[in-house]
Homo-oligomer: A and B are copies of this chain.
Amino acid sequence: MKETNRSEEPNMEERILTEAEKLFFEKGFAATSTTEIARLAGCNQALVHYYFRTKENLFTKVLGGKVKGFFNEFLSVNAGEGDFKTKLARVIGCHFDIIRQNSHMTLFLITEFTRDPLRLEELKRELGELPSQLFASLEEDLQREIAAGRIRKIEFIDLLINILSLNAFLFVVKPLFMQICGLTDQQTEALLDHRKQEIIQTILSSLRP
C-alpha cells in the first residue's frame, strides 16, 4: 500500500474518483460507463476495475462519504439559543446554505434514492437517531408557541414540508431555471442570496396568528 499523496499531483486512483463523481452526478449511475470514466481520467478502462473491482463499488465509494456527510451536516444543525422565531430562522438559513453548497447533489440524491430504495434503507440505518434529535426539539417548541397563541395552528409535518420545499426546490430545478430565465452564474448567486432571506420571511410571516 502506498502512502497517501500530500501536495503531489493526483494519482490515477484519485483522478478516477474525481471523474466518476462528476459523471455520476451529471448523468446518474445507469448512464455512466466505466469506459467513459477511464477516458476522462486518462487511463485504461481496466484500471477502473483494478482499483474498485466493480462499478457499483466505485459508485458507493464516491457517494458513501458525500451523501452521509451531507445528511449528517443537515441533521446536525443546531437550533441554538433565542426565541422560537430566531431559532427557526437560523435553522432555515443553515439548511439553505448546506443545500446551496451541495447544489449539484440535490437532484442526484432524489433520483438515485427514488430509483434504488435499498440504498435509502441503508442510509436510514447509518443515520440512526440523528433525524429525530433535531426535529423533536423543534416540535416541542412549536407546540409551546401554538399553545401560547404566538403562532397560528399548524402541524409540525406541514411546517417541515414547507421549509424543505422552499429551501430545496429551486436547487432541484436550478439548471432549468437558469436556462429558462437566461441567468448568468453571477445573477443566479445574487438571486440565491435574496431567496434565502425571502424564504425565512415567507415562513415566519406565514406562521403569524
Binds B, one of A11-19, A23-31, A34-42, A45-53: A23-31
A interface: dominant SS: helix
Residue A179, interface by CB 8 Å: yes
For the complex, what is the distance from the CA of A48 to the CA of B156, rounded to whole Å? Answer: 49
Given contacts A31-B30, A164-B169, A165-B169, contact A203 B205 (CB under 8 A): no
Q: Which of B168, B175, B206 has a CB less than 8 Å from the CB of A114?
A: B175
For the complex, what is the distance from the CA of A207 to the CA of B202, rounded to whole Å? Answer: 8
For the complex, what is the distance from the CA of A114 to the CA of B199, rounded to whole Å? Answer: 24
Q: Lowest 9 A-B CB distances belong to which pairs?
A: A165-B169, A206-B206, A30-B31, A169-B169, A205-B206, A202-B206, A165-B165, A158-B198, A30-B30
Given A30-B31, A113-B176, 7 other A-B residues pairs in contact with their CB atoms under 8 A: A28-B28, A28-B115, A111-B111, A114-B175, A155-B198, A162-B198, A165-B170
